[in-house]
A and B are shown apart, each in its own frame.
Chain A
Amino acid sequence: MAKKKRIGIHELYARDPYQADLELFGRESDPNSRRGFLKKAGLTAMAMALGGKIVHAENMPAGVIPAALDTPQGDFEIEGKHPELVVLNDKPWNVETPAHLLDDEVTPADRLFIRNNGLVPEKIDVAAWTLTIDGESVPEPVTLSLDDLKTKFKSYTYRLTLECGGNGRKEFNPPAKGNQWTTGAVGCSEWTGVRLKDLLEYAKVKSDAVYVGYYGADVHLSRNPKKVTISRGIPIAKAMEEESLIAWQMNGEDIPLMNGYPLRMIIGGWPASVSGKWLTRLSVRNIVHDGPKMEAPSYRVPKYPVAPGTEVPPEDMKIIESMPVKSLITYPKTGAMVKPGQKFEVRGHAWAGDMEVKEMHISTDFGATWQKASLNPAPNRLAWQRWRAQVKLNESGYYEIWARATDSNGKAQPMVVPGWNPKGYLNNATHRIAVKVSS
């Protein structure tokens, strides 16, 4: 027999989900509702592959790969990503980076976190890729190819900090639902693209523009092509900033597939969910954009401080804009054992949303005293800043090193978890590593 060509279940489902249902499981669903199983055989085959009974099978949507078959099991690597990255969720992919892997000035492609809301687009035709600019606040829609973007406009390169709004969620008490990020949903890579403001001007943006919303090619988890996975955006003032990019390159190369190849928004300093990936369309709105995940409680926090566990009405929630001041210790890795009196460098990065970091301190005595660290200026606005300190611990014992940044408005990172909020956003508590001293 000739060598077999292996076709994955994903490929079959990508071609035609309903046909894949039929071919793999003999499943036919109600043609009107696209739900249920017309024949018992299909249900039996699918239930068997799942290893259990499908409850209320009559309601199960058609064309969906059962997750038990779709979910990679055990330890595995994601192509192009460092094997030590931590997978929080595999459908959709949500993957964070341990702090010690973020030591580079410029975050390499294999170390930038992944926060997907839907499924990565299965077919990307770069030659046919277009970006359409439409909405109430442009006179008429404008469509540009990738080539147009690269040739018709001046391109710019900036290092820009991207941090997920939910970075640090794991520490909130009571817990907030969602991906339980610890500290690793952040990175600062070098992005190349055109200025969003140049595109808006090209499209003759009108003076009544309020918001720029994005649409991307990622696929809704339900695989319903009519459902938009996520469509957020930014106010026009943020869109008009020089560093707000529509980018096709990261660190001088194509953007990794998981991070939005071939085109994405890069809006430094704001929750990364505003930086739409696999970008196909920008909608210039005369209202605050109302796409999926703009609504409360997504990416919103209470307008006033609330007690932990409070139920906050949607109208009392506000959209997160600039991220708060924060820092990471990227060297040494937590768990360092040193000799009494051994000198070692402690270093990391600090960033402050739309602001700059003004001062950096570390403590080796649980916050009782603080030592000033050296702090580099940002290479450009909205990039993280390198900080360094020399540490020497003379007495044997267990230590923690805490890092605390202060922004240009005088706001510093709290030593405990900051104000609770229903969705667990904006935890900028001081990063801590453990160190032991013994002779």
Chain B
Amino acid sequence: MAEDKKDLTPEQKEILDKLVKRTNVLVYAALFIVVVAMFNIMAPDAADRLFGGGDEVVAEATDANAAPEIPDDLIEDGIHVATGLIVDDGFQQVKASCLACHSSKLITQNRADRDGWKKMIRWMQEYQNLWDLGPNEDVILDYLAKNYAPEDKGRRANLTNVEWYVLEE
């Protein structure tokens, strides 16, 4: 890896390091360098903007509200930390199809059975420009129905996640 980075400017290395953290380190890093080179050849101006070559402008996928980035390969207790999604069969398809347009929180805060998730997909296709998911629809629905299924909450749940503290007199 270090060998591969030799020919890049410090700025390119910095951006590369950030992106690599978010992707599968071994597979994508090499590919990325190819694209950087491609950018430099095919669209030098765009490459400057993105990777900070000779220009004074650097594009960043962050804004005032964004937080420090979480590495994409970080998985804790079966949860993909960057998105909060459960890692299971279909996770990659959900990540690539659903998160192309909306936040993962739209998935993690909702619960539905297979039919309910299917209705949400149909609604997004009708009103939100979601494309035809083809054979991946079943994979995605299986993932959602298994991992984000409704729980029977009854008519009123117990109070949970209470943080206890002393109320002074």
* Least distance between A93 CB and chain B CB atoms (Å): 9
Q: Which B129-169 residues sit within 8 Å CB-CB of chain A?
A: 129, 131-134, 136, 150, 152-157, 159, 162-167, 169
Contact B24 A51 (CB under 8 A): yes
- Measured between beta carbons, the chain B residues less than 8 angstroms from A79 are 64-65
Interface flags for B17-29 (1: CB within 8 Å of A; 0: not) read 0010011100010
Contact B70 A4 (CB under 8 A): no
Q: How many chain B residues touch A (Cβ–Cβ < 8 Å)?
A: 77
* Least distance between B80 CB and chain A CB atoms (Å): 10
Contact A73 B70 (CB under 8 A): yes
- Measured between beta carbons, the chain B residues less than 8 angstroms from A55 are 93, 96-97, 133-134, 136
In the complex, whether A374 has a CB less than 8 A from a CB of chain B is no
* Least distance between B51 CB and chain A CB atoms (Å): 11
In the complex, whether A66 has a CB less than 8 A from a CB of chain B is yes
When A56-B133, A180-B109, A335-B163 are in contact, do A26 and B31 touch as well, CB less than 8 Å? no
- Measured between beta carbons, the chain A residues less than 8 angstroms from B22 are 49, 51
Q: Which B99-148 residues sit within 8 Å CB-CB of chain A?
A: 99-106, 109-112, 116, 119-120, 128-129, 131-134, 136
Q: Report how far A78 CA is from B65 CA in the complex, Å.
A: 6
When A23-B46, A51-B28, A337-B165 are in contact, do A72 and B23 touch as well, CB less than 8 Å? no
Q: Report how far A64 CA is from B102 CA in the complex, Å.
A: 10
Instruction: Tell which of A24, A91, A173, A222 touches B46, judged by Cβ atoms closer than 8 Å.
Output: A24
When A175-B111, A221-B101, A436-B164 are in contact, do A4 and B58 touch as well, CB less than 8 Å? yes
Q: Report how far A51 CA is from B45 CA in the complex, Å.
A: 25
In the complex, whether B79 has a CB less than 8 A from a CB of chain A is no
When A72-B67, A73-B70, A337-B164 are in contact, do A66 and B157 touch as well, CB less than 8 Å? no
Instruction: Tell which of B35, B58, B106 touches A6, judged by Cβ atoms closer than 8 Å.
Output: B58
Contact B59 A24 (CB under 8 A): yes
Q: Which A1-46 residues sit within 8 Å CB-CB of chain B?
A: 1-10, 12, 22-24, 26, 35, 41, 44-45
Q: Report how far A333 CA is from B164 CA in the complex, Å.
A: 9
Q: Report how far A49 CA is from B62 CA in the complex, Å.
A: 13
Q: Which B61-78 residues sit within 8 Å CB-CB of chain A?
A: 61-70, 72
In the complex, whether B60 has a CB less than 8 A from a CB of chain A is yes
Contact A171 B96 (CB under 8 A): no
Contact B152 A173 (CB under 8 A): yes
- Measured between beta carbons, the chain B residues less than 8 angstroms from A88 are 105, 109
19 pairs of residues in contact across A and B, judged by CB atoms under 8 Å: A7-B58, A26-B43, A49-B22, A51-B24, A51-B72, A55-B96, A55-B136, A59-B131, A60-B100, A66-B100, A67-B100, A67-B103, A91-B102, A175-B111, A177-B110, A177-B120, A334-B159, A335-B164, A344-B169
